[in-house]
Structure formats: C-alpha cells, structure tokens
C-alpha cells in the first residue's frame, strides 16, 4: 500500500518508516512536492492532526496520515500541549522550548508529564484516529543526544534514561508515536 505521511520532519519520517518496515511504501511531503506549511490552528492535538491530513488528502487526492504530538506537563496544566513545537516562539527552536520549560519548572517537585500523539488517517476519504500516550517525568536538565524535540528532558515511567539517551530500537517500542503507529499498522493490516 502507498501512503503519504504529512510531515516535513525527516526525524519523524525515519521513526515511522522504521516501525512500518516494508509492509507499506511511505513517502513524506517533500517526496510528493508539497512544500507548503500546513496550518496547525486547532486548540487540540486531535484537531491539528485532522487539519494536516485533510489538507493533504484534499489537495493531492491521496491516502495519507498526519500526526500531532504534544508534551503535557501536569504542573503547568497541560502546557505546552498543542503549542509544544512553538512553546518558546514561532521559530520552533527545540533548545529554546526546553530552556523555557525547564525554567517554568524550576524548583517544582511535581514533574509528571506525558507525551501524546494522535494520528489522523484518511483512506478512501474516510478518517480514522489513533492515539498513543506515554507517561513520565521531566528531568532537571537535558541529557542525551539522540532523538529530537523534548527527548533530552523526558524520562518515561519505568526507565531511568531520557528518550534522548535511549537506543532508537528501545525508544521505538515504548514511545507515544510508536504506540499510535502500531495501532495504525494494526488497522492497515486488517484492510
């Protein structure tokens, strides 16, 4: 099956391709000639995922899926949430986002957080949603050089390392994106 993942992010594309292995031919937006910045104006992760998949499906008349991910910190009432990528501003600078988040948690004992990914699949003009959530805590400082985004400060429950310290293979079995993608794959395998 041919599918388009509505992303320009090569890290996300690589993660998902690794999970899909060879069962599905997956392309990113750049590979189909879509260089548009797709709107993400929703007030929930679900709405943003749907906006992106709908944009691509309608414009290119192809089966596709999009994801949206947010880091939700309990003490900050779910922030940065839907604004995770642009928490420190429209430049979408991951280091600035991490610095701001750590600053907002300075001296705070409750560091509980969760990563949430929602995938919106549009196949044959019908939408299906898949969700993945992983709970954890925010570290005191960034640790590790693997991964991207908030990975250097997120320690999933049951582990002592941040996502950025984990081998790709380990992270891809427990991450929020992996959980959502595995639900997507299970669905696609039933078609």
Judge contact between 161 and 153, C-beta under 8 A: no
67 is catalytic: no
Q: What is the bridge-based pairing of β-strands 25-28 and 2-5?
A: parallel
Pick the catalytic residue from 68, 93, 151, 157. 68
Q: Which H or E run contains 65?
A: strand 64-73
Determine the 3-state secondary structure of 30 from DSSP. helix
| Cα(103)–Cα(69) distance, integer angstroms | 21
Residues that are catalytic: 68
């Amino acid at each position: 099956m041919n599918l388009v993942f509505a992303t320009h992010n090569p890290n996300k594309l690589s993660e998902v391709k690794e999970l899909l292995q060879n069962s599905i031919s997956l392309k990113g937006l750049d590979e189909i000639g879509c260089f548009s910045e797709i709107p993400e104006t929703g007030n929930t992760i679900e709405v943003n995922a749907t906006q992106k998949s709908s944009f691509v499906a309608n414009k290119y008349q192809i089966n596709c899926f999009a994801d949206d991910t947010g880091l939700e910190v309990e003490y900050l009432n779910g922030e940065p949430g839907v604004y995770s990528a642009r928490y420190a501003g429209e430049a979408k600078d991951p280091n600035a986002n991490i610095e701001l988040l750590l600053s907002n948690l300075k001296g705070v004992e409750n560091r509980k957080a969760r990563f949430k990914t929602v995938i919106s699949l549009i196949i044959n003009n019908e939408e299906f949603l898949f969700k993945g959530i992983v709970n954890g805590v925010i570290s005191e400082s960034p640790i590790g050089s693997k991964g991207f985004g908030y990975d250097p400060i997120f320690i999933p429950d049951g582990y002592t390392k941040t996502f950025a310290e984990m081998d790709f293979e380990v992270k891809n079995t427990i991450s929020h994106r992996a959980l959502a993608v595995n639900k997507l794959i299970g669905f696609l395998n039933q078609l």
